[in-house]
Structure 1
């Protein structure tokens, strides 16, 4: 009962925050993140470990600075689910700048996989990309452990006519949607375990990386278009940046294709390292015989 009460309270708080001015909600999330960073925690250690592995050339002071900023961004991103899940389309239009290298409303858009990356703005970016397409599309998601929260999240993420597809065993659904010329949004830059994955470098560290994007693009004859959601400074909202389709992708080499995804990230993260999702154990799965890095 207490657990249900806690979830109900959290959802009610998100709905309340959604009606406040965005700047108030964002500042509240920022302050909460700054406060929680001061408390030693497992997630804080994960952030610090990831930054030490990926940026050994930085001083300890610089890594600590970025870790603190990231923790604030990460907690704030959860608070801002309020706006992203429950805010109106008009409010999202005011908050999110769209910068696209392709015409998202092109009626002749070929089969397309929109490849999202786990910066803290991915939720806002994914929902607004769905809205900006102005057509039925598909979106892969990882179900949450609590069914009530999962139902609310799935409805919120799919409210602009997205078919929400659970990530597990989703290949058939993705290929079906691509055949129907429905764009598909998915993220693949986290450690989902050894299944359908390979080890390729990510900032010089072997990282368990999905090869499914390459296979799905090949089987569905789809172009792959990266996108990134960025949190703008001074509580001004977000920018959704949609890139050009990757040329000469996929290839016949799934490992090279996986490496290309990580290499793309390596070009984008240095511009805003505090916004990449370092709270995730990116190096949790290790090659056989290697000890845990966490």
Structure 2
């Protein structure tokens, strides 16, 4: 049903289709037109599935969500906790993020840094749904709150893969785009004392049997103090994670809307 709904969006959602196609062409210039269109259509199918997964993540009981989740690399969180360290968990906008946010919270309830929804009703459901199985939510402006949580030894999830504007960003490569606006927020949090930085990749299994969340070992020698190189490294790690199942990633976001030259025409025109 979700795939069918996604195909309907593919046919009628010309604006979002254009954004996603532009992103795919910019990120994968080596792919042919046919390959791009195939990936685009698969991405819309997965977007349709994600609408149902959002409801599952927000309203399913714990036992039902837990039944469908496999988490790999939990030992990295356990080790950090045993050492009294906070964990900055970097994630990316895979389409199954809503249900997987619930899943990972069962063993290690997290503090979630997020952007509040503009619609008050949607914000109510989003806040309530994402907070289930986890400790609490922090709005994107509450930087001090997340720093405090890290220093208190919490597992804090942060998603730095989208375009958050020019303020406190640096232009570094992301896939084949040499100058993608990349938030400095990751480094602000990662440089706090007694912090481990890990990455989680949340994907839907190919056979639709459930979800696999893979937590990486802590990043070594990070951050280094060289902000540009550190952000390049983060983007490279994000690229690896996204490339694992690119059809499941949220390509509908205007990732390259902020350009180094503020007067340059939009890549989405």
Sort the TM-score into its range (normalised by shorter chain): over 0.9
1:103, distance to aligned residue in structure 2 (A): 4.4
- Out of 86, 100, 103, the position equivalent to 2:73 is 100
TM-score of the pair, normalised by structure 2: 0.93
What 5-or-longer segments of structure 2 have no aligned partner? none
Aligned ranges 1:258-269 → 2 under 5 Å:
258-269=231-242
* SS at structure 2 position matched to 1:209: strand
Assess if the C-alpha contact under 8 Å between 2:199 and 2:216 holds in 1. yes
Q: 2:98 corresponds to which residue?
A: 123
Assess if the C-alpha contact under 8 Å between 1:211 and 1:255 holds in 2. no
CA distance in 2, matches of 1:93, 1:82: 15
1:234, distance to aligned residue in structure 2 (A): 2.6
Is it true that 1:228 corresponds to 2:201 in the alignment? Answer: yes
Assess if the C-alpha contact under 8 Å between 1:116 and 1:187 holds in 2. yes
CA distance in 2, matches of 1:111, 1:236: 32
Aligned ranges 1:1-294 → 2 under 5 Å:
28-100=1-73, 102-106=75-79, 107-109=81-83, 110-133=85-108, 135=109, 137-168=110-141, 170-205=142-177, 206-288=179-261, 289-294=263-268
Aligned length: 264
1:224, distance to aligned residue in structure 2 (A): 0.7
CA distance in 2, matches of 1:220, 1:291: 41
Q: 1:15 corresponds to which residue?
A: none
CA distance in 1, matches of 2:77, 2:218: 12
Assess if the C-alpha contact under 8 Å between 2:4 and 2:48 holds in 1. no
Mean CA deviation greater in 146-155 or 191-200: 146-155
1:282, distance to aligned residue in structure 2 (A): 0.7
1:156, distance to aligned residue in structure 2 (A): 1.4
RMSD of aligned Cα (Å) = 1.6
TM-score of the pair, normalised by structure 1: 0.85
What 5-or-longer segments of structure 1 have no aligned partner? 1-27
What CA deviation, in whole Å up to 9, does each residue of 1:175-195 have, x standing for no partner? 111121111111111001011
CA distance in 1, matches of 2:240, 2:133: 31
Q: Assess, with a 3 A threshold, how the Cα gap between structure 1 residues 72 and 95 changes in structure 2: closer, same or farther.
A: same
Q: 1:21 corresponds to which residue?
A: none
Assess if the C-alpha contact under 8 Å between 2:59 and 2:129 holds in 1. yes
Q: Assess, with a 3 A threshold, how the Cα gap between structure 1 residues 116 and 99 changes in structure 2: closer, same or farther.
A: same
* SS at structure 1 position matched to 2:259: coil
1:126, distance to aligned residue in structure 2 (A): 2.1
* SS at structure 1 position matched to 2:207: helix
Q: Assess, with a 3 A threshold, how the Cα gap between structure 1 residues 193 and 70 changes in structure 2: closer, same or farther.
A: same
